[in-house]
């Protein structure tokens, strides 16, 4: 039987905002973990009808027998208990709920390399992962999260400055236009921060926008929130002894995506072209494309060293191997949908067909398997040659 202190169930999926993976993994893997539940009441887990198994770097998980057995066959899970665990699970659920409600949302600092850090939301949703480069020149930020957590972001920025007089945010690079990545733009623009982004991002923020999938509308952003330096293909910044390459990758997550590479430290921020371990949101209304996204990820894999440390738009700090697994998912799931389209199946028929389990495990929150299939289907069928 798994001990009380090691079996912990994450009970509250995080809410998906614009372009966001809905379940940001908790930073403390000893207290929280990702879970796969098909029954919100968790009756089967309480009765011990599901298995408890362990997956590397994710602690213990309770799920269906078939899932656990499949993962065990793939060599990525170890079944550790088949006994009744009802009382232990109930006690753990109550404990976690109390801790989460008491603690609330926070933003944690994750050291990356040298003076580069990642800010990530814990116990709630703070927006996309924020990258920070600190040094005597001041601070450089990549994205700035949701407006609602600006105070938590700025508090952590104070902790990252390397000297008393070098805490100002001199540069802010936006990876794309979604509100969970540019929520602090107005604040930093008012403070004199130089905002840098692809030229399409300035165009999008300069007029009202609608995201049909989320039934969300956005007013024109104020002048101070707009980038003052824009580029068509790439721009290079030299700051805090780092060569920082900002590179546009077209028509992937959106039509205004940028990735940012710190050459000396070999650290890469991929923004929302990379959701670690989850199906991504693809903004089809603003130039996004599943095919384009797949091509962009392939370009990343071909361009950057194997040892590169990767900051995803959402999810835990990653490696190039994580990006390669993500690319495999994009390729294989697209091929599955493409083949069924060629067989004359409708969108509904494809969504109702049996999707391989190793890919359904990538679903999370609002981007579940039927939604991901719809993104692929829409992208393929709006082109003349799917």
pLDDT digits over 310-346, tens only? 999 999 999 999 999 999 999 999 999 999 999 999 9
Domains and CATH numbers, the chain: 1-104 (no CATH), 106-330 (3.60.15.10)
Furthest CA-CA distance within the chain: 65
Q: Write down the number of H helices and E strands in the chain.
A: 12, 18
Task: Give dist(CA 276, CA 297) in Å, integer.
Answer: 12
Task: List helix spans (H) across the chain.
Answer: 43-46, 65-73, 86-103, 150-160, 179-182, 185-190, 199-205, 290-303, 320-342, 347-352, 357-360, 369-381
Which tokens sit at 106? 């926070």
Contact by Cβ (8 Å): 322, 310: yes
Q: How far apart are CA 43 and CA 64, in angstroms?
A: 12
Q: Let me know: does 175 contact 260? Beta carbons within 8 Å.
A: yes
Q: Containing H/E element for 153? A: helix 150-160
Q: Are 268 and 246 in contact (CB under 8 A)?
A: no
Q: Is 198 helix (H, G, I), strand (E, B) or coil?
A: strand
Q: Which among 24, 12, 18 is positioned nearest to 107, based on CA atoms?
A: 24
Non-local (6+) Cβ contacts of 233 within 8 A are: 247, 248
Q: Rounded distance, CA 126 to CA 183, Å?
A: 10
Strands 242-248 and 258-262, bridge-based pairing:
antiparallel
Strands 229-231 and 194-198: parallel
pLDDT at 215: 86
Structure tokens at 214: 């989320």
3-state SS, residue 49:
coil
More confident residue, 145 or 65: 145
Give the whole-number percent of the chain exceeding pLDDT 90. Answer: 64
Q: Angle at Cα 199 formed by Cα 193 and Cα 205, nearest 5°?
A: 70
Rounded to an integer, what distance in angstroms lies between the CA atom of residue 162 and that of residue 226? 28
* 207 touches 178 (CB < 8 A): no
Taking 70 as the threshold, does the pLDDT of residue 83 lie above it?
no
At which residue do the structure tokens 């590169």 appear? 308
**307: pLDDT strictly greater than 60:** yes
Adjacent-strand bridge partners of 119: 109, 130
Three-class SS state of 108 = strand
Q: Which long-range contacts (CB under 8 A, 24 or more apart) does 340-344 make?
A: 341/377, 341/380, 341/381, 341/386, 342/386
With bands split at pLDDT 50, 70 and 90, how would you rate the model's confidence at 214?
confident
Mean per-residue pLDDT, 150-160: 95
Across 136-140, 232-236, 293-297, 359-363, least confident range: 359-363
Residue predicted with more confidence, 312 or 87: 312
**CA angle at residue 248 from 246 to 253, to 5 degrees?**
120
**Whether the model pTM is above 0.85:** no
């Amino acid at each position: 039987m798994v001990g009380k202190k090691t079996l912990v169930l994450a009970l509250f999926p995080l809410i998906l905002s614009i372009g966001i993976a809905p379940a940001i993994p908790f930073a403390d893997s000893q207290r929280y973990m990702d879970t796969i539940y098909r029954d919100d009441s968790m009756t089967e887990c309480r009765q011990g009808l599901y298995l408890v198994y362990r997956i590397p770097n994710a602690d213990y998980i309770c799920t269906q027998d078939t899932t656990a057995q499949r993962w065990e066959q793939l060599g990525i899970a170890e079944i550790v208990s088949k006994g009744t665990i009802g009382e232990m699970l109930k006690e753990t659920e109550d404990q976690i709920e109390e801790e989460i409600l008491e603690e609330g949302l926070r933003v944690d600092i994750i050291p990356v390399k040298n003076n580069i850090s990642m800010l990530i939301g814990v116990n709630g949703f703070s927006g996309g992962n924020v990258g920070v480069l600190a040094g005597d020149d001041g601070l450089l930020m990549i994205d700035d999260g949701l407006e609602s957590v600006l105070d938590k972001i700025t508090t952590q920025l104070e902790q990252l400055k390397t000297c008393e007089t070098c805490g100002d945010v001199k540069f802010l690079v936006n990876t794309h236009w979604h509100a969970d990545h540019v929520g602090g733009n107005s604040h930093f623009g008012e403070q004199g921060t130089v905002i840098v982004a692809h030229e399409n991002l300035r165009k999008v923020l300069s007029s009202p926008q609608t995201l049909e999938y989320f039934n969300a509308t956005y007013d024109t952003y104020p002048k101070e929130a707009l980038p003052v330096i824009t580029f068509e293909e790439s721009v290079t910044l030299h700051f805090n002894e780092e060569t920082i390459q900002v590179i546009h990758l077209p028509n992937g997550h959106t039509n205004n995506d940028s990735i940012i590479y710190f050459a000396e430290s070999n650290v890469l921020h991929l923004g929302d072209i990379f959701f670690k371990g989850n199906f991504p949101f693809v903004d089809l209304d603003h130039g996004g494309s599943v095919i384009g996204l797949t091509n962009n990820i392939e370009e990343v894999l071909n361009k950057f060293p194997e040892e590169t440390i990767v900051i995803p738009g959402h999810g835990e700090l990653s490696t190039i191997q994580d990006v390669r697994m993500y690319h495999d998912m994009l390729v294989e799931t697209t091929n599955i949908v493409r083949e069924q389209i060629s067989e004359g199946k409708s969108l509904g028929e494809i969504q109702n067909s049996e999707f391989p389990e190793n890919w359904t495990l990538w679903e999370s929150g609002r981007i579940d398997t039927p939604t991901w299939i719809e993104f692929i289907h829409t992208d393929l069928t709006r082109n003349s040659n799917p």
